[in-house]
Amino acid sequence: MVDKLKFSLAVALVILGLAGFYVLSAQPLVLRVLSVMAGLAAGGAVAWFTEPGQQFARFVQDSVTETRKVVWPTRKDTVQMTAIVFAFVVVMAIFLWLADKSLEWVVYDLILGWKK
């Protein structure tokens, strides 16, 4: 129950920060943006102390750890795979164009007799 109240407070702080952007419409833009940033920071700080906030922090930490374990492809591998994909797309485009023109010729010229 306490977590729900904290989370509600966090949402309210974010909404107040966004509302401040519009309430301070006569003020300089820097002040309006600071209002939004303050609302987001305050809401995030309150949400941090909830159980879902702590779970989210652990999730982010685990995600960063898993990302570091990934073996990323080298530049050479990336360029080669991009070239292969590009070549495949070109070949498929030519094949589909030929299939389309062949079917057009069969249907319009041979079957229907509509010579162009």
Residue pLDDT, tens place only, 44-65:
899 888 888 899 889 999 999 9
pLDDT at 115 over 90: no
Retrieve residue 25's tokens. Answer: 């419409």
Give the Cα separation of 113 and 106 in Å (integer).
Answer: 9
Residue 113 Ramachandran class (φ > 0 left, ψ -120 to 50 alpha, else beta): left
Residue 112's pLDDT is what? 87
pTM beyond 0.75:
no
Q: Which long-range contacts (CB under 8 A, 24 or more apart) does 97-101 make?
A: none
pLDDT at 3 over 90: no
Residue 23's pLDDT is what? 92
Q: In the structure, what pLDDT confidence band is assigned to residue 116 with cuts at 50, 70 and 90?
A: low
